[in-house]
Amino acid sequence: MSTANWIIRTHSSPRLRLFCFPYAGGGASIYRTWPGKLPPTVEVCPIYLPGRENRIREKLFTHISPLVQALEDALQPHLDRPFAFFGYSLGALVAFELTRHLRRNQLPSPEYLFMAAHRAPQHPQHDSAVHQLPDPEFIRAVHRLGGTPEAVLQHEELMQVLLPILRADFTIYETYIYDEEPPLACPISAFGGEQDQTVSVQELEGWHAQTLGAFSLRILPGNHFFLHSSQDLLIQSISQDLTPILQSRLE
């Protein structure tokens, strides 16, 4: 598999790269407006996952370990300057495991982790078999999360494309097994939605145990997909947290 398809570079000499991992069923396009909203010295690098968008013909991943290994291969040439990870829902889990993988292999590690709409990994999963449900029940389970428009869920042709992506991503999440390792050195900021019924404040606070560095938790307006409803507030918080790192690179 070519490593050139995973990100599209847009900045020739950034002070920091922010790699952004999408939620289940999502793609790099959910971050399309971010480059104009973060400091100009930050290069936003959305992750283009196989099996969707411009990589629709490529094989989907269904387990986290091979996905993390492929991400290491793809991103390693771009870890030549300070970087941070932002992960949303399933993307937070992928970003977290990629960070631990980089540490185990003595590769550069992120300066900051932003974990949004996902419980800390040491907390037990709520569901474990949604990905095995027949299509009608699976679609109803996806609908309960609230991130897929009703018009899309009712559109048979669109769902024929989206269902395999969603099922593969849910399989990654539901087959994940947490292995205990020492906390990370980098700071972590966790984000949750006020009306999110799938991730509790206590589960978000659990991210504190995963870092030896600073930790913050912010609860923003919206449901599980506050990424869209509170995007500006979210980006403002990320910019605020990155400011000390960006300033230190000037000294």
What confidence score (pLDDT) does residue 214 get? Answer: 97
The one catalytic residue among 12, 13, 65, 89: 89
pTM value surpassing 0.75: yes
Residue 212: CB atoms within 10 A of its CB come to 12
Residue reference for tokens 């793809």: 74
CA angle 197, 175, 17 (to 5 degrees): 75
pLDDT at 72: 97
Residue range 17-44, pLDDT digits in tens: 999 999 999 999 999 999 999 999 999 9
| Whole-number pLDDT of residue 16 | 96
Q: What is the pLDDT of residue 32?
A: 94
% of the chain exceeding 90 in pLDDT: 76
Residue 115, phi then psi, degrees to nearest 5: -115, 115
Q: Looking at residue 184, what DSSP letter applies?
A: B
Q: What is the pLDDT of residue 150?
A: 65
Q: How far is CA 153 from the centre of its chain?
A: 23
**Pairing status of strand 42-46 against strand 112-116:** unpaired
> Domains, the chain, ranges and CATH?
16-122+180-243 (3.40.50.1820)
Split the chain (251 residues) into runs of 10 and give each run's mean pLDDT: 73 92 94 94 96 94 98 96 96 98 97 97 82 83 68 74 92 94 98 94 98 98 94 98 87 51
Answer yes or no: 89 catalytic.
yes
